[in-house]
Amino acid sequence: MDVFVIEGGRRLAGRLRVNGSKNAALPLMAAALMSDQPVVLRDVPDLADIRNMLRLLAELGCHKTNEGGARDVMCLHATERSNSHARYDIVRTMRAGICVLGPLLARRGYCRVSMPGGCAIGDRPIDLHLRGMRALGAEVSMESGDIIVKAPPGGLKGATIFLGGTFGSTVLGTANVMCAAAVAQGKTIIESAACEPEVTDLASLLTKMGAKISGAGSPRIIVEGVAQLGGADHTVIPDRIEAGTFMMAAGITNGDLILENCPTDALLSTIDRLNAVGVEIEPIEILRPAGFTADPLRQVVRVTCGRVIKPVEVTTQPHPGFPTDLQAQLMALLTLADGNSVITERIFPERFLHVAELLRMGAKIFRQGPTVIVSGVRQLTGAPVMASDLRASACLVLAGLAAEGTTLVNRVYHLDRGYERMEHRLADVGARITRISEKDAGVAEASG
Ligand code: EPZ
């Protein structure tokens, strides 16, 4: 297992490009199961979760056929259908494996997917996914920890489905139902659908493949079923969570970063809270050939922050509210604010494993249930800390960038699931950060 060694206190300055979105790419890859024609995806990040999804798709008969081609382009071709079982061994490493459920059911009328367990961010039920499948006429059963879903003899039938749950809508549940409904007979209306940009991106890929979908990005999605889907060529949207993480890295280091390929339009609540903190995000005008208009999901922005970080109140919410996937990183920034901030987590109320680690670096944080009060301190101090999930790891890296002295972030394999070459990209803009093995880290700690 690898460890990041961070020498804190260095101001970040320079240019970074935001990669394609992991959380958009995973359901897009699964959608390749729905056609016997190739699906080409561009700007796919090189991440552990993406490689795991490729492994899962290969087991299900859908292969990457452009090995050796451009690193971020993936041509996926579903050539055989003999295995429709997403095994526990793979799904347990990557909860997003659940997003093969809708595509497999749509194309093969049958699937067996290992029930994903909980994870470090809390319970992760899938009752809403299954409610959607049942509403389309599928029969759902459980066997040895696997969910088995079968289409009725006449095929799936469109229906009106309410997908809202206790904690709001479900992103991957909406993706699964949208995929299954794309080839069901008749019209499906998904009410209380997730409005996340990743759902909209999936709807655009499915539309290119021949599906008839309207309303994606709003709480009501309407799908008119078609007989079959073809191939498509699609560029993944930029990663709004990576962009937000870099914005907070600029904020916590009093930095000055230019972000390219920045999905500003998908980050309005984040930008609102960051502006309140004192982080400025300004679009940079670039000259375009006549006829080309700016894409609000692919902007160039300059991110700067003065020395004073102001305290804020923030509550995580489904999109377009403040994303739960940036809560931990914002908390790192607020540990250095000039006053008390309040963070309430409304999507995953247990997603606070980073709190205890921030305390080890000198932060002042008081948690009660889903609410945390962060009392800003003047300085964090470097310490060995343990990453527990993907975004908690990003939070600890940000804290390490600002802390006085050396921070060792253990278990960075969590970070590798969602941020490509994070240490190199941060080092390119001035961070002092290196990756070493756990064995060497033990030596560094003992001697340091
Ligand atoms: C997606 O997970 C993301 N994962 C998560 O990204 C993200 O945190 C989450 O959406 C919320 O934005 C991917 O896209 C691969 P949900 P998903 O179903 O779809 C409850 C990251 O760090 N719920 O929208 O699995 C659930 O418990 C991560 O990249 C039910 O009650 O999340 C939660 O409280 C991790 N029943 C809320 O809904 C269900 O059937 C939202 O979860 C499904 C969900």
Q: Is the CB of 172 under 6 A from ligand 1?
A: yes
What's residue 123's pLDDT?
79
* Lowest mean per-residue pLDDT among 71-85, 111-125, 344-358: 111-125
> In 3-state terms, what secondary structure has residue 211?
coil
Distance CA 418, CA 49 (A): 7
Ligand 1: residue whose CA is nearest its atom 30: 125
How does residue 86 score in pLDDT terms, banded at 50, 70 and 90? very high
Report CA-CA distances (Å) from 76 to 6, 53, 93, 109, 231: 38, 12, 21, 21, 9
Q: What is the pLDDT of residues 276-323, one digit of tens each?
A: 999 999 998 776 777 777 888 999 999 999 889 999 999 999 999 999
- pTM value? 0.96
Average predicted confidence (pLDDT) for the chain: 94
Distance of CA 380 to the CA centre of its chain: 28
Rounded Cα distance between 144 and 129, Å, is: 19
What fold is seen in the domain 22-235?
A: UDP-n-acetylglucosamine1-carboxyvinyl-transferase; Chain (3.65.10)
Distance 194 CA to ligand 1 centre (A): 10
Ligand 1 lined by 391 (C-beta under 6 Å): yes
| H helices present in 209-256, as ranges | 240-252
The Å distance, Cα 126 to ligand 1 centre, comes to 9
What is the C-alpha separation between 60 and 38, in angstroms, rounded? 15
Q: Which residue has the tokens 């041509």?
A: 75
Mean pLDDT over 376-399 rounds to 96
Q: Which of 19, 22, 23, 131 to mutate to test the pocket of ligand 1 (most atoms within 8 A of CB)?
A: 23
Packed helices 390-402 and 327-334: angle between N→C axes, nearest 10 degrees: 20
Cα–Cα dist 393/387, whole Å:
5
The domain segmentation of the chain, as residue ranges, is 2-19+238-447, 22-235
pLDDT at 448 over 50: no
Q: Is-catalytic flag, 119? A: yes
Q: What is the DSSP string of 325-345?
A: GGHHHHHHHHTTSSSEEEEE-
CB contact set of 56 (below 8 Å; sequence gap of 6+):
86, 90, 91, 94, 97, 100
pLDDT of residue 9: 96
Rg, Å, the chain Cα set: 22
| Active-site residue, selected from the candidate residues 99, 119, 179, 195 | 119
Which of ligand 1's atoms lies nearest the C-alpha of 99?
15
Quick one: average pLDDT of 377-381? 98
Residue range 164-197, pLDDT digits in tens: 999 889 999 999 999 999 999 999 999 999 999 9
How large is the average pLDDT for residues 337-360? 97
pLDDT for the residue 258: 97
pLDDT digits (tens, 9 = 90+) for 131-170: 999 999 999 999 999 999 999 999 999 999 999 999 889 9
CA distance 307 to 252: 9
Among protein residues, the one with the nearest Cα to ligand 1's atom 7 is 325
Contact 241, 326 (CB under 8 A): yes
Q: How far apart are the first and last CA of the chain?
A: 20
CATH superfamily of domain region 2-19+238-447 = Enolpyruvate transferase domain (3.65.10.10)
> Which range (53-62, 91-100, 335-344) has the least confidence?
91-100
Ligand 1 center to 448 CA (angstroms): 40
Ligand 1 atom, smallest distance to 196 CA: 12
- Do domains 2-19+238-447 and 22-235 share one topology? The answer is yes
Q: For residues 396 and 5, is the Cβ–Cβ distance under 8 A?
A: no
Pairwise pLDDT comparison (391 vs 441), residue with the higher score: 391
DSSP symbol at 84:
-
